[in-house]
Amino acid sequence: MGLGIDNVAHDATGLRIGIVAARWNAALVEPMLASAVEELRRLGTAAVRVIRVPGAFELPYGAKCLMADGDCDAIVALGAVVRGDTPHFDFVAGECARGIARLNLSWSHDWRGSRPQPGPPVIFGVLTTDTVGQAEERADPERMDKGAEAARSAVEMARLRRNCADDIAEFEETP
């Protein structure tokens, strides 16, 4: 577990969570994926859908495909980018982060078609490290367990999205 705050009660009952996982750096991504799925099941999620993309650069597109289905309350993007000797790391990690941020800031119309609302939150579960050792530590469920951490973030943000939608509906109905 990281140094962040993790004292929220995570209840995934009734939630449908999508996960888009990169195949590149599979030795790092697969433990995070397994841990994320296990954590979501432990928290009581109704459904988990997993899709794969080639690498971290493609994660935003995979997340957008899951968003387009309209079946996900939140989406977790899992990948790993390890710094090398070339600027490739900066391009891949930066554009992946930027793409996911853009998805989180995009809006769609609700089922009534009248009020724009945020789409499902997309959680940045992408390791961006200087060394393979750092990435292994973060991906390992017995050490930092970033897969389970991303799953808990997805549940928290999905609940926030539902609560905000409920609050807006209540506000509109108040005379």
The reply to whether 88 belongs to the active site is yes
pLDDT band at 170 (very low <50, low <70, confident <90, very high): low
In a domain, 3, yes or no: no
In a domain, 11, yes or no: no
Residue 75 structural domain: 16-173
Domain count, the chain: 1
In a domain, 4, yes or no: no
Residue 53 in this model has a pLDDT that exceeds 90: yes
In a domain, 8, yes or no: no
pLDDT band at 91 (very low <50, low <70, confident <90, very high): very high
pLDDT tens digits along 60-86 = 999 999 999 889 999 999 999 999 888
Q: Among residues 23, 41, 88, 115, which one is catalytic?
A: 88
**Residue 156 is which amino acid?**
E
CATH code of the domain covering residue 134: 3.40.50.960
In a domain, 5, yes or no: no
Q: pTM, whole model, 2 decimals?
A: 0.88
In a domain, 9, yes or no: no
Lowest mean pLDDT among 32-41, 75-84, 163-172: 163-172
% the chain with pLDDT above 90: 73
